Amino acid sequence: MIGKVFLIGGGPGDPGLITLRAVECLRKSTLVVYDYLVNKQLLDYVPPEAEKIYVGKKGGEHSYSQSEINELIIEKAKAGEIVAHLKGGDPFLFGRGGEEAQAVARAGISFEIIPGVSSAFAIPAYAGIPVTHRDYSSSVHIITGQEGSEKISSKIDYSLLARIDGTLIFLMGMKNLDKLVSDLLNNNKSLETPVAVIRWGTLPEQETLVSTLGSVVKDVEERHFEPPCVIVIGDVVNLRKELIWFEKKPLFRKRIAITRPESQGVEFIEAFENLGAEVFSCPTIKISPMDSSLLIDKEIMRLNEYNWIIFTSSNAVRIFMERVFEIGRDSRALGNVKVCVIGTKTGESLFEYGIIPDLIPKEFIQEGILKDLKINPKDKVLLPRASLARDLLPVRLQEMGAIVEVIPLYETIADGNGIKKLKNLLNTNTADIVTFTSSSTVLSFTRTMDEMERMRLFKSVAVASIGPITSKVLRTEGVKVDIEAKEYTTQGLIKAILEYFNVSTNA
């Protein structure tokens, strides 16, 4: 059975700019070929079992020629594969997508074109430059900076381009910058015409050089600007002074590794990305529910016998409450028992089930619970939690005269893929900060290596801890702690990181 081909525009670089349709197609693909300018984070949407083949072209060096790419796509599709070619920007804008589509169509293979956000518009926007503006430019013209090598002469009419009052955008033009500038000046384009050269646009390493047509070649040489760049020529460049936004984000250019379990890291990641950071999800642990339903059911049926139920994590709330509903009961099952949660985030998880906690301690650690919880002798306390957790809470509660029942709901196990990804980031000095939000996220990572490797991996990266307990484990493992949250929540950790870089959300 013949497969299918998706020619997908991956956008200009920021992984958040990929389209929903592109994600949908990547998820159903069995083989993905991808180009040089594609953000590798987009490959996370591809099923783990799918084959991935790099076919990028960089600086004239081609891992595959265009004809070889066409042949590869056709061969794999004829073998029954669902093939996705993930291309930077938009496949039909200087992406040779038209040629590939022709080849696939002529081979009798079904295909779809998934447009992408073009770098021609997105990258200037991230630099604070609108490509059109009613007061400055009523037209925009996109020109390739490198025509096909097989052409005898250029088909670009620079005499016409020099007379246009609209915005000129050159893609892939850095190697020919001197020539394109000369061609415009030789056709009487003003030396004072504003020019912006934007490198690695939409990504944390974005750099923007603002110059004029008469000075840009010299300025690019002095700043050592190299591809990939988008070149914008026209009066709209002057609007950057007023409209710059992306490069003003407080964590712009910062790369942050998150070690939380994948299911819990979404809001954390989004918060950092909104502050301008590039975020790498490297979960070092996975949450694995335990087969303790019979034990949970027993305690649910006699909840009215307890004085307190204490939740020390959102995972415990979710697993326990899901079981309440699975056996045909609802939140009213907790109607006669007081509920304590370790922190505001755990409280929010509980509120999703319509329950407001009776107690949230001032300090979001077990010690905080012990300080604020008023226990009477013979009070019965139910403690649903991870199978391996600190015994401080149940031991101290028993010493205070309480009768404590501990239910192991889940265990944390090492996430091999996330650990491998984090090691690679640290080995290549890619991350500026690595965050740890629990003791288990630390131990699952550090115990995969010896002391020498730990010292080497953490030498050039700042380590951020969610609180004193996690910090203590890090130091015990021989890892320095550079940042510690004063409020033991993810928001508290974000605030501590902003303070570490001496920036604020008003920056």
> Residue 286 CB: number of other CB atoms within 10 A?
18
Asked if 241 contacts 190 with a C-beta cutoff of 8 angstroms, the reply is no
Q: Residue 262 phi/psi, 5° resolution?
A: -55, -40
Residues forming CATH 3.30.950.10 domain(s) in the chain: 121-245
Q: Please, what is the end-to-end C-alpha distance for the chain in angstroms?
A: 57
Q: Give which of 145, 82, 78, 112 is closest to 9, Cα–Cα.
A: 112
- Topology of the domain comprising 291-412: Rossmann fold (3.40.50)
Q: What is the dotted CATH code of the domain comprising 4-117?
A: 3.40.1010.10
Question: Alpha carbon of 213 to those of 125, 163, 187: distances in Å?
Answer: 20, 14, 12
Alpha-carbon distance values, 47 to 75, 82, 340 (Å):
21, 12, 40
Catalytic residue among 57, 179, 423, 472: 57
Distance, in Å, from the CA atom of 275 to the CA atom of 268, rounded to the nearest integer, reads 11
CATH class of 121-245: alpha beta
Distance CA 37, CA 57 (A): 9
Q: Closest Cα partner for 199 from 21, 48, 37?
A: 37
> Mean pLDDT of successive 10-residue segments in the chain (507 residues)?
94 94 97 94 94 82 83 95 96 93 96 97 97 95 75 77 94 93 96 97 93 97 94 97 95 93 82 90 88 82 91 90 89 90 90 92 88 90 85 88 89 91 94 93 93 92 94 94 92 94 70
Length of the chain: 507
Q: Is 235 a catalytic residue?
A: no
Active site residue 172: yes
Catalytic residue among 14, 76, 90, 172: 172
Tokens of 207: 């750099």
CATH 3.40.190.10 assigned to 255-284+415-500: no
Q: Cite the residue boundaries of each domain of the chain with CATH code 3.40.50.10090.
A: 255-284+415-500, 291-412
Contacts with 28 (C-beta within 8 Å, 6 or more apart), sequence order: 82
User: Exactly one of 14, 35, 90, 432 is catalytic; which is it?
Assistant: 35
Tell me if residue 345 is catalytic.
no
What's the CA angle centered on 179, arms 173 and 180, to 5 degrees? 55
Q: Where in the chain is the domain with CATH 3.40.1010.10?
A: 4-117
